[in-house]
Amino acid sequence: MIYTHTTVASSSNVERMIRQSSALSDVQQQLNEAYLAAVAKIDKNEIMKLKSDHATWLKQRDLCKDHDCIHTSLMKRLTKLDRLNKP
């Protein structure tokens, strides 16, 4: 999960919930793959924007307090990254 970790201590609860749930872990893995695919596909200027957008998303995701919130956040981000990866 290199691309989805934050250094903010509050994220540890969210990351723990992701690790403990096979459903969340599966979506997290899909998200990681979509992120890497997007980085490989876009130019350097767009990569900086993607990284900034991703950092903003992580801060929002880390506000989640339950499984449903985390799942919704992961799915919305995955959908956004999938759009970037479409031909």
Domain assignment present for 41:
yes
CA distance readout (Å), 67 to 43, 47, 62: 34, 29, 12
Q: pLDDT value at position 25?
A: 96
pTM score over 0.75: yes
At 87 the pLDDT is 75
Tell me the helix, strand and coil percentages in the chain, rounded to 5: 75, 0, 25
- Kindly state whether residue 5 falls inside one of the protein's structural domains: no
pLDDT 10s digits, 47-67: 999 999 999 999 999 999 999
- Confidence at residue 7, expressed as pLDDT on a 0 to 100 scale: 43
Residue 21 counted as domain residue: yes
pLDDT for residue 6 is more than 90: no
Phi-psi region of 21 (alpha: psi -120 to 50; beta: other; left: phi over 0): beta
pLDDT, position 10: 54
CB 17 within 8 A of CB 24: yes
pLDDT tens string 22-47 = 999 999 999 999 999 999 998 888 99
In the structure, what pLDDT confidence band is assigned to residue 86 with cuts at 50, 70 and 90? confident
Query: Domain range for residue 28?
Result: 11-85
What is the separation, in whole angstroms, between the first and last Cα of the chain?
A: 25
Residue 38 and residue 66: Cα distance in Å, rounded?
A: 28
